[in-house]
Amino acid sequence: MLTPAQRQQAAEQLFNADTQRHLIPQLSQSYEGIELEDAYAIQDLWLTMRIDRGARLVGRKIGLTSRAMQMASNFNEPDYGYLTDDMLLPDGAQIEAVRFLSPRLEVELCFIMGEDLQGAGCTVADVMRATEFVTPALELIAYRTQVPRAIVDTIADNAAAGAMITGGRLVRPFDLDIRWVGATLSKNGVIEESGVSAAVMGHPAAGIAWLVNKLAHHGVGLKAGQMVLAGSFTRPVNIAAGDVIQADYGPLGSLGVRFV
């Protein structure tokens, strides 16, 4: 377990790595004895630093929702991080690739909450009832530390959240069976990945239910209007300057961005 001073120092290192665009050594190598509780506390301190400089909390992201990614990370459950308003990018955006370190894209669904949702015992049905809209989204993941990374490195690094791109159609959660939303992700005209949303824990709302139950231990939850990235149902795709990205969600529409 780290001291409060060590947690603050680690958060400042991650914040500076993000703003100055450079990688730092893994916290698991720099801070002997760092634990999961430390990693989430560092994440909270990082958020406070962002908010103090004008960012606004707009939601949450869930990661490691596939069994394959959990096994690769030697971890047996998802993780979570924060989304702030300066992470939101629109469909059609031209994105400076140098803004992000080791950027990759994942195909996801974004849930927009219509009601507050808090407390232990949350279920998929509770999430569906509390959700106002579901929309296609791409998560841009980026690292601020060197690799390979332990799970505490990923969590402290805001679960690798870099940005979120939304587009396509807004749909109400009961207007279709959202377990079977399919999508393809193309880079420069070539389909790199495809998947179906049921790959996220059997149901894309399952990860959000998991998150609400986790947050209940800290006396917090999700707020109406917040956005939640439910987890990827494809493998991450590496991106670089010059890449043109298109994600096709079929009946839910498509979204695209260009990296410059």
Q: pLDDT for 201-233, tens place per residue? A: 999 999 999 999 999 999 999 999 999 999 999
Which of 255, 253, 257 lies closest to 181 in space, CA to CA?
A: 253
Q: What is the mean pLDDT of residues 57-83?
A: 83
Is 28 domain-assigned?
Answer: no
Is 27 domain-assigned?
Answer: no
pLDDT at 68 exceeding the cut of 90: no
CA distances in angstroms from 257 to 8, 88, 138, listed in the order given: 35, 13, 10
Is 31 domain-assigned?
Answer: no
**How high is the pLDDT of residue 70?**
64
Which range marks the domain in which residue 88 is found? 56-259
**How high is the pLDDT of residue 75?**
75
- The number of domains in the chain is 1
Percent of the chain with pLDDT over 90: 94
CATH code for the domain of 224: 3.90.850.10
Look at 241 and 101; give whichever has higher pLDDT.
Answer: 241
Is 13 domain-assigned?
Answer: no
Q: How far does Cα 194 stand from its chain's mean position?
A: 18
pLDDT at 78 exceeding the cut of 60: yes
Is 17 domain-assigned?
Answer: no
pTM, two decimal places? 0.95
CB 141 within 8 A of CB 101: no
- Considering the chain, what is the average pLDDT of its residues? 95
Is 43 domain-assigned?
Answer: no
Is 76 domain-assigned?
Answer: yes
Which of 51, 13, 1, 60 lies closest to 209 in space, CA to CA?
A: 60
Is 107 domain-assigned?
Answer: yes
Q: pLDDT for 144-177, tens place per residue? A: 999 999 999 999 999 999 999 999 999 999 999 9
